[in-house]
Amino acid sequence: MGKVKNWAMENAENFLSNLESQIKSGAQTITSAMLLVNSADIAWDLIGFNHMSEVEEYLEDVKRKALHDN
């Protein structure tokens, strides 16, 4: 994999990881997180998301699991 592609993948993973942490802590809602997702220049397809709706579903699962664990 090329250096630019690796950088884009790492950037996407880090962005998603930060959103996950913020959602789990309650600092971000799904709605506000999706505003960031939609406005960010992230190559979501590099980490397995083909549509923004898939990112939203994933974040909803993160929130559901966080609520269940508490």
Q: Tell me the pLDDT tens digit for each residue of 23-63.
A: 999 999 999 999 999 999 999 999 999 999 999 999 999 99
Count the helix, strand and coil residues of the chain and give each as a percent rounded to the nearest 5.
80, 0, 20
> What does the alpha-carbon distance between residue 32 and residue 55 come to, in Å, rounded to a whole number?
13
pLDDT tops 90 at residue 1: no
In this predicted structure, what is the pLDDT of residue 67? 87
- 18 has a pLDDT exceeding 90: yes
pLDDT bracket for residue 70 (50, 70, 90): low
Closest CA to 12 of 34, 41, 33: 41
